[in-house]
Amino acid sequence: MYMPVDLKQELMPCVRCGQCRSVCPVFLAKGVESDAPRGRVTLVRALLEGRIDPTDILNEKIQQCLLCRTCVQECPSGVHVERIIIAAREKLAGVTGISREKKLVVRWLLPNLQRLRLFLPVIARVQGLLARRVNNSDYQAPRFNVPLAGRRLLPVLTGHTIATMSSGGKPFPATASSLKAEKTGVVAGANMTPEAAATDNGLKKQARVAFFTGCLMNYGYPHVGRDVVEVLQRNLVEVVIPEKQVCCGLPMLAAGDRNTFNRMREENLRALRSIHSDAVITACASCGSTLKEFYAGELEAPIYDFSEFLLAIDFRPPRGTMVQNVTYHDPCHLRKAQGIKSQPRQLLKSVPGLTLKEVSNPDRCCGFGGTFSLTYPDLARTIGVTKVKDLMQTGADTVVTACPGCMLQLASGLYSQGSQAKVLHLAELLAASYRAEE
C-alpha cells in the first residue's frame, strides 16, 4: 500500500531560492508568486503549521499544479514538489472535498472497468452529434462545450480496444458475460505480423511481455496500442495484454484520493502477476512513471517504457523509408520522471528517410496534466499554445511524442493555431516504417 510521505521532511530542503520560477509553466503563464512552486511549497508549509486556513484560493493554488516536475528537475536542493502537492491535495480533499469533475473521473468512470467498457461504446455511437471530424483526421472537435472535454479536440472513438484491434476482433461493446469470463490475458495479434507467427513457432523469441495499455491509449488511441504491439512483435517479442488491468491510478493520486489509488494499484498488481512475463511494458509516459514509482518492487518483472525496452533488447531498426520532417516533444513524465530522453530520439533516427528537427525547449510541458486540463481548460490551453508555437517554429510536418496525454493536448493546440502538422506516437511511426518494408 502506498502511504503518504513525511510532508515535514519533504518541505525542509526548500531554501526558497526561487529557481523554480524560471521554469514552472503555470507560473510563467500567470506570473504571481503563489503560482510558482516556491509559493505552493510555502502555502503547504503554512497549512501544515496551522498558519493558514484551507481557503478556496489556497485550494486552487495547490490544485493548479500540472505535476509535470519541471521544477523538480530544476531544483538545486532536490525538493520533490510533486510529492508535496500530492500529499497536500490528500489533506485538502479531507477538508474541502474533491471537485465535481475530478470525482466523476477518478471515482465514477476510471476505477470501474465494466462501466468504462459499457460507457465508451455509447459515446462512440453518439459522438457524431456532439462533435465533428476535423480535416479527415482521427480527431473531432466538440460542437459545444462538452462536459469533461470542453472544446478540445478528441480522438474519434472506434469502439475498439487494443486487444480487439490487434487480434482483428470486433469492436466492443463487450457483453457483460464476456467481461466476466475468467480470462487473464490475451496474446495480442497472433497473426498480425510474420514475426508474430515465427515467435509462435518458438523461433528466437526475445521476450514475453505484459502490455500495460493505460486508459487513454486503450480506449482513445487503440490504433497506437496496436502499433506498439506490432513494433514489439517485429522485434520477436510476444505481447500479452492482461485483461483485468485498470487505470494506473495517477488521476486518483493527483486528486488526493489515495484510497482509490491503492485499490487500482492492487487490482493492477493482481492482473500483472497473473501473467508470466519477462517485463511489463507501457507506452504511456504517465502510466510508466506511476508504475515505476508505486508498483516496482511488488512485481517480479521489471517495468519499461516502450522506447526504453526496445533499446534494452536486440532492436531491429525498421527499413521502410519514411520521408518526413519530424520534431519530438519530450513528455514530462518520460523525461523528468523516468529520465528517458535519448531513447525515443535514437529510435526516430533509426527510421530511414526521417529528419529529426529539435524544437527549442523540447521538454517544455504541453500543459495537459491529466485532470488538470479538465479543471483548468483555459490555463491548459494557454500553456499549450506556448508549446505548439515552439513546435511550429521547427517547420516539421509531424510532431512525435511518447504519451497519449501529450498527443491529445498537442493535437488540440496545433489545430487551434491553424497548423496542419500531424501528431503521432513514436510507435506509430516505427510501425509504419516496418509496414513499408513489405
Q: Which residues bind another protein (CB under 8 A)?
A: 8-9, 12-19, 21-22, 31-34, 36, 38-39, 42-43, 46, 51-53, 55, 57-58, 61, 76-78
Identity of the residue, 48 or 104, whose beta carbon is nearer to another protein in the bound complex: 48
* CB 248 to another protein: min, Å: 31
- Least distance to another protein from the beta carbon of 74, Å? 8
Residues 6+ apart with CB under 8 A from 182: none
Rg (the chain; Cα; Å): 21
Nearer to another protein, 33 or 314 (CB): 33
For 355-366, give one letter per residue: b (16+ CB within 10 A) or e: ebeebeebbbbb
Type of residue numbered 315: F
Question: What distance in Å separates the CA atoms of residue 212 and residue 225, rounded to the nearest whole number?
Answer: 10
Nearer to another protein, 77 or 145 (CB): 77
Closest CA to 217 of 432, 70, 403: 403
CB nearer another protein, residue 14 or residue 407: 14
Comparison of 17 and 203: residue with beta carbon closer to another protein: 17
CA–CA gap between residue 372 and residue 379 (Å, rounded): 9
168 by DSSP, 3-state: which? coil
Edge-first strand listing for the sheet containing 422-425: 354-356, 324-328, 398-401, 422-425
Nearest approach, Cβ of residue 54 and another protein (Å)? 10
Taking alpha carbons only, the member of 20, 113, 126 closest to residue 75 is 20
CB of 34 to another protein, least distance (A): 4
Q: Which residues contact 94 (CB under 8 A, 6 or more apart)?
A: none
- Least distance to another protein, CB of residue 10, Å: 11
CB of 45 vs another protein, minimal distance in Å: 9
Task: Give CA 284 to chain center in angstroms.
Answer: 4
Grid coordinates of 26? 503555470
Question: Considering beta carbons, is residue 33 or 378 the nearer one to another protein?
Answer: 33
- For 30, residues 6+ apart whose C-beta sits below 8 A from its C-beta are 379
The smaller minimum CB distance to another protein, of residues 43 and 400, is found at 43
Q: Shortest distance, CB of residue 92 to another protein, whole angstroms?
A: 12
| C-alpha grid cell, residue 321 | 523509408
